[in-house]
Amino acid sequence: MNRTSSSSYDEMLEADGTVRPAYAGYRQWLDAQAPGLLKRKGIEAEAFFRRTGITFNVYGAADAEERLIPFDSVPRIITASQWRKLSRGIEQRVRALNAFLHDLYHRQEIVRAGRVPERLLRDNAAYLAQMAGFTPPGGVYTHIVGVDLVRTGEDDFMVLEDNARTPSGVSYMLENRETMMAMFPELFTQVRVREVSDYPRRLARSLAACAPAAFAGDKPRVAVLTPGIHNSAYFEHAFLADQMGAELVEGSDLKVEGGRVAMRTTKGWQPVDVIYRRVDDDYLDPLSFNPQSVLGVAGIMDVYRAGGITIANAPGTGIADDKAIYSFMPEIVEFYTGEKPILANVPTWRCSEPDALAYVLDNLAELVVKEVHGSGGYGMLIGPTSSKKEIAAFAAKLRARPDNYIAQPTLSLSTVPIFTKAGLAPRHVDLRPFVLVSPHGVDITPGGLTRVALKKGSLVVNSSQGGGTKDSWVLDD
């Protein structure tokens, strides 16, 4: 994979080694630092993360050990003008996603117009019949969205996937910044970086703005619903509840009483107005979905449909994460906004289509193939780094269930340097900005979470697959 590295767009350096404008201020600061500083600070940062307990649990790890997501201290920097364009594109896309979800659960105009095939919805496990004909409070489906962006050139940003179900990682965005400011305070006096720390306040405001019809009072009561301390993202659930001043609840703390969802407090049962749930649809309500679930609340869907509670994100939004639906996003954006998409999709072959399948099978060694419902970097094939045997095995799976896959070219993702033993070295990155949606509008925190592949040449940035993170800067004008 070094082949792709050498030809990739590096965000800090031009081909001749000149520092690009976005990194000029940072590089100037860096060059003035004593040798060994970054290394020492890196060790400090790890101790800091361990002490504060910023860890995630790895599913399937033998002792369910808590791991740290490696943090790299070289920031990923985006200029103000790049960000303006990105945020316009993200807002357009997120508005389209919400309109699409509303349409999907109502008249399905987009299907009637022949722009999206009905089959994609009908057979989709993420489509929830329980949501048909129902409009969530404030008309908002995706209260929180993470839009994964990749970059291949100076102005070439593309959307790799949409995370409209329960995007995670925002706590790392916040803690990475805290860590950078604690390690290098003077750096922030030399380079003007836009603030991210008010995300929890914006989230709380955004959620409160979606209170259900049954809410009465002056301040909606918000709770974060977590599967519990063994969940891989528990740290984030606790972190967000803490920062928002919301209760962190588990299914066992809640019950349906008098047409409301109530939580067991030391003063008795008290109604909850808005639930920011970090529990999948399937586990939300044993009466409506998986009857074995103990993570949710029996009867919450009835309360929801009767206007007794707001669930964020709305059940059934997961269908927008489907990679087959993703391939239709350019049409979806155009259909609902009447505009050309500002942000491009990555070119995508739908293996359900015979011509596409034939092409994909002929070119597996060059392509990335993903499951349409997959996430986290599991169950995918990266052609260029796979052996002949692996490719043959994957081809068999692909022929057996073509509907289950999409394929994309192996993108030459941009690189940003990380700090290694041998000094700065370029590694591939992506970017997940976090987007809040409320009846008042779309609110995008400047920056996001940069994930970085730590292995030389690797394109896999997922933390579950050994990726790390960086602080992501949007420069102030």
Partner 1 sequence: MLGRSANGIFWLFRYLERAENTARLIEAGFRMALTRDSGAASEEWRSVLITLGMQRAYAARHGEEITGPHVFNFVLRDRDNPASVLAMIEMARTNARMVRTGITREVWEAVNESWMKLKEVLARPVTETRLGDVLDAIRRQATLVRGAMEGTMLRNDIYDFAGIGTFVERADNTARILDVKYYVLLPSLSAVGSSLDNVQWENVLRSVAGERAYRWLNAGQMDPRGIASFLILDKRFPRSLAFCYAELSGHLAYLAREYGFETEAHAIQRASEARLSALTIEAIFEQGLHQFIGEFLACNNRLAQQIQRDYRFVE
Point out which residues bind partner 1 (CB under 8 A): 50-53, 229, 234, 238-239, 241-242, 246-250, 252-253, 263-268
Using CA atoms, how far apart are residues 250 and 272, in angstroms rounded to an integer?
13
Q: How far is the CB of 108 from partner 1 (least distance, A)?
A: 41
- Can you tell me the distance from the alpha carbon of 469 to that of 177, in angstroms, rounded to the nearest whole number? 11
Q: Which is nearer to partner 1, 47 or 422 (CB)?
A: 47
CA dist 219 and 216 (Å) reads 8
DSSP string, 197-236: TTHHHHHHHHHHTT--TT--SSS--EEEE---TTSTTHHH
CB of 71 to partner 1, least distance (A): 18
Q: Give buried/exposed letters for 137-168 (b at 16+ CB in 10 A, else e).
A: bbebbbbbbbbbbbbbeeeebbbbbbbbbbbb
Give every strand in the sheet of 222-225, ordered side by side.
247-249, 222-225, 274-277, 310-312
Query: Considering the complex, what minimum distance in angstroms separates the CB of residue 247 from partner 1?
Result: 6
Residue placing its CB nearer to partner 1 in the complex, 14 or 242: 242
Residue 455: phi and psi, rounded to 5, are -85, 140
- Least distance between partner 1 and beta carbon 34 (Å): 29
Tell me the closest approach of the beta carbon of residue 47 to partner 1, in angstroms.
Answer: 10
Q: Of the two residues 185 and 268, which places its CB atom closer to partner 1 in the complex?
A: 268
H or E stretch at 428 = strand 423-432
Q: How far apart are CA 338 and CA 189, in angstroms?
A: 43
Q: Which is nearer to partner 1, 156 or 257 (CB)?
A: 257
For partner 1, the closer CB: 234 or 394: 234
| Smallest separation (angstroms) from partner 1 to the CB of 454 | 24
The CB-of-184 to partner 1 minimum distance in angstroms stands at 21
> Hey, is 184 helix, strand or coil?
coil
The helix/strand/coil state of 15 is: coil
Longest CA pairwise span in the chain (Å): 69
For residue 52, give the H/E element and its range: helix 37-52
Contact 48, 182 (CB under 8 A): yes
CB of 246 to partner 1, least distance (A): 8
Hey, what amino acid is at 47? A
Which one, 114 or 268, has the nearer CB to partner 1?
A: 268
Tokens of 259: 């047409």
Q: How far is CA 190 from the centre of its chain?
A: 30
Kindly tell me which of 58 and 187 has the beta carbon lying closer to partner 1. 58
Q: How far is the CB of 209 from partner 1 (least distance, A)?
A: 22
Phi and psi at residue 81, to the nearest 5°: -75, -40
Q: Residue 416, SS3?
A: strand
Comparing CB distances to partner 1, the nearer of 65 and 355 is: 65
Nearer to partner 1, 158 or 261 (CB): 261
Q: How far is the CB of 11 from partner 1 (least distance, A)?
A: 33
Distance CA 346, CA 10 (A): 19
| Least Å from the CB of residue 250 to partner 1 | 7
Nearest to 323 by CA among 206, 250, 220, 404: 404
Within 10 Å of residue 398's Cβ, how many Cβ atoms? 20
List 222's β-bridge partners, or say none.
Answer: 274
Q: How far is the CB of 185 from partner 1 (least distance, A)?
A: 19
Quick one: 250 or 281, whose CB is closer to partner 1?
A: 250
- CA neighbor of 463 nearest in space, from 11, 49, 182, 144: 49
Half-sphere exposure of 425 (CA within 13 A, CB side): 13
Tell the burial category of 362 from Cβ atoms under 10 Å away from its Cβ (0-12, 13-18, 19+): exposed
Tell me whether residue 110 or residue 223 sits nearer to partner 1 (CB atom).
223
Residue 36 or 268: which CB sits closer to partner 1? 268
